[in-house]
Structure 1
């Protein structure tokens, strides 16, 4: 059955559907970037709230600023902007139709429809999932970069912006001119200190064209930090066939794990939906939750990704079925990562680690090793390098994490240990591969990528541990080296 308002009552009784009248919803949020994660996370929380009979003035208007967002708009428009969300629980698959989005703006070159919508007084939150790489962060400094071509364009042509941040600035200026309060800008991306990063991008871009207004934004617009979590694989034929097997004809179905978490600062001067009623945690200690997730979950993804990638393992749950990779994960988490994670309110870190193992092991998710290996040049400096630094600062050696970094280097050489080619899997793949080739004979060349390792190449102990690990991987193979590490000989 094709999803639409008219067919909701004809869907299988096993499929949960909105129990509220969608025609009575009013938009309070514009969301930029309506990919799988958004539709399995924020949209689901709001759908839960609406099902309680609450928050009906906080419906979502979808938006996008990239060319491929136009296809998502076209697909969702044929479904009255609803999506099927399928939870892949080993104890039983469940499906629901999420109706929290009521419109999707046209995707235009200069984003005028988006600017107009955000400038509407009833819009009180503008939220974003524009991916980790979409915040124009200079990897060398970790701060906003004004050198990207899109930023240069928007700085020179603020009335015809091409970026989400340029459109946000233009809409804020219109609201200011009309005497409307500013909306809250809420990042929902998996970026450390995502609110601060978003503020830096918006204020930094505004400074290029209107420094005075940039100061006004810094003083008057809220950018709450948040931590988001839900494993949501990409949609392909497998996911579409699963939706069909459940009786749903959906052009853009979303599959996800049962677990989800959302932790936010309560910094919404223009108001917010009462999301605490549906499990969202509001706290002034978001950074603690964030550090826990980044070090244990995202770091854990990297720990299993690269040894599995070198062995041509396709799926994450298959890597977890490999006794050595599972032991590698357990040992690094227990001995190097957990000891450096600060306490988190009402959270047992060991229990959280065990939950992560359970989530990674879910065979129904179909999450791929290749996805976990993607964009290491952006993820390693966020998820792994800080842990190496903290372990060393506390007097440890970080030998497992440094070995992981050597495995990443070997992966970027571009062939698996079975001799199969590894297709480019990073925006900076050519540079990484060139460095990995050089590092085969000169390991320190890899550590000299200062935008990733900063000054770690000057730490003699790190250089020795990395060089020893990488040389051993090339000489003996990754499995032998990991065995040696687990036996305490590395």
Structure 2
């Protein structure tokens, strides 16, 4: 990074070196029509890029205000850049840089609560989007609102700035109702089963408890479309920032992404939307089949790689796919345990889809860290691996490949890999999971029994299934005795 290298901003945009594609429309003439909760890397590499395409095509009034719910880090990086940032698309053939301008404003809710709430309740805001991760929905083990969650209890008392997503949304809807701000679409883009209905369920329950008079207004003025989103977006590194500096300018928080991108959206918008379909999104009446396909095929495979590869001391997805045993394991996982649980997906050949996933996972230009994927396992495993396991059991088949992945997660909770390295359990239940695993120790029966007894992770019917319990216990014994590669050989030989 040279001292003369300009910082990306609206003022410097015209003088930057040639190379990166940059916004070709008048950003100053754009209004904010979308407020997005969770201004993380994925949103900026995905929905913000689709929106950028529509602004480039001449649509107006759909600029984005991004709200960070906790840390000011993203706001602090983007505010001096006037919301501009670079998406660096990395494929086997090289990099392609594009400066994105659709994010017009970045705020942090705890530090700017009044302005954040004003944006959410502004009549110009017609869509509120979310990419806040599974844990931010404050659900209990049954998928309902966790009424004992500390943030929910705080927000139900109604004192101070809302701390939870349901609390913040309810406050925004109340203000919209009181001021006549008009209808709004709440569009979640998180990896949750039936994500639109999930958001609607937890928010309606919060409103019933906190502000029941708002329920009627919501029924007339709020919609909750489900979506499926797909693009691999690893965490930004200093090497990525250096790659931008080599282009001749500074970007405090560029985003790296693979070339592939997919967005399937239920067309249920109550107050207009950009024509995202003209940017490549697929507008459908029912997203369920697409969502299930992605959660189980892509996300389930990612979690399996994260725990098996993480235990083996492997760092990234592409490095894991370079291990023939892991690559072969994924093929068996898809073919035997996952695809048989999926309904037909319009326009999709499922074996072809998983073959494409394998190719994407092998992309050496995308350094997607396994420890990043391993985060929040207690929230991710139920929909990614445990529900397909239950479906396969209902079909009369014990899913042996899923059992091995679940066993790897259990062993991963001890915080050590086979090379002598250690890792932190980054999970909302991290302390109790770690304590439970350490208390059971490296004994397959004790460790599996202790974790199966946690209804926050394992539904009682699945935990009670003796065939699945036995398969997980046997896989765990293999991992403890023969290591990851030995257990994979045994699994592939079965």
Q: TM-score, normalised by structure 2?
A: 0.94
Q: SS of the counterpart of 2:187?
A: strand
**Cα distance in 2 between the residues matched to 1:65 and 1:471:** 42
Alignment partner of 1:463 is 2:469:
yes
Contact 1:32–1:128, Cα closer than 8 Å, also in 2: yes
Q: Which residue of 2 aligns with 1:95?
A: 97
Deviations 1:57-98 (A, max 9, x none): 1111222231x1x23212211111111110011112000000
**What is the deviation of 1:477?**
2.2
- Residue 373 (structure 1) shift: 1.6
1:159: Cα distance to partner? 6.9
Contact 1:302 1:372 in 2 (8 A): yes
| Paired residue secondary structure (1:5) | coil
Q: Distance in 1 between matches of 2:162 and 2:472?
A: 44
Corresponding position of 1:195: 196
1:167-202 CA-to-partner distances (Å, cap 9, x unmatched) read 322222222222332211111222222211221232
1:127 match: 129
Paired with 1:164 and 1:389, the residues of 2 have a C-alpha distance of: 30
**2:394 pairs with 1:393:** yes
Unaligned segments of structure 2, at least 5 residues: 1-5
> 2:354, 2:490 → 1: CA distance?
24
Residue aligned with 1:401, SS: helix
Residue 292 of structure 2 corresponds to residue 291 of structure 1: yes
Distance in 2, matches of 1:144 and 1:163, equals 11
Does the C-alpha gap of structure 1 residues 434 and 29 become closer, same or farther in structure 2, counting only changes over 3 Å? same
Structure 1 residue 30 corresponds to structure 2 residue 35: yes
The aligned length equals 484
Query: Shift of residue 420 of structure 1?
Result: 2.4
- Aligned counterpart, 1:57: 61
Corresponding position of 2:266: 265
Aligned Cα RMSD in Å? 1.7
**What residue in structure 1 maps to residue 374 of structure 2?**
373
The CA deviation at 1:475 is 2.2
Cα deviations by residue, 1:272-308 (Å, 9 ceiling, x for unpaired): 1111110111101201100000010001112222221
CA contact 1:110–1:160 (8 Å) conserved in 2: no
Cα deviation for residue 238 of structure 1 reads: 1.7
- Give the whole-Å Cα distance in 2 for the aligned partners of 1:162 and 1:92: 42
CA 1:101–1:109 in structure 2 vs 1: closer, same or farther (change >3 Å)?
Answer: closer
- Assess, with a 3 A threshold, how the Cα gap between structure 1 residues 388 and 20 changes in structure 2: closer, same or farther: same
CA deviation string 1:110-169 (max 9, x = no partner): 82211112222111111111122110011x212211211111111111674233432322
Equivalent residue number for residue 486 of structure 2: 480
Q: CA deviation at 1:449?
A: 1.7
CA contact (8 A) 1:123 1:183 kept: yes
Map 1:134-153 → 2, pairs under 5 A? 134-138=136-140, 140-153=141-154
Shift of 1:439: 6.1
Distance of aligned partners of 1:478 and 1:167 in 2 relative to their CA distance in 1, 3 Å threshold:
closer
Query: Any conservation in 1 of the 2:69–2:108 contact (CA below 8 Å)?
Result: no
Shift of 1:254: 0.7
SS in 1 for 2:11: helix
CA contact (8 A) 1:417 1:477 kept: yes
Secondary structure of the residue aligned to 2:368 is coil
Give the structure-1-normalised TM-score: 0.95
**What is aligned with 2:3?**
none
Does the C-alpha gap of structure 1 residues 444 and 354 become closer, same or farther in structure 2, counting only changes over 3 Å?
same
Displacement of 1:236? 2.1
- Are residue 40 (structure 1) and residue 45 (structure 2) matched? yes
Partners of 1:375 and 1:427 within 8 A in 2: yes
2:221 touches 2:270 (CA, 8 Å); kept in 1? no
The CA distance in 1 between the partners of 2:365 and 2:355, in whole Å, is 18
Shift in Å, 1:106:
5.3
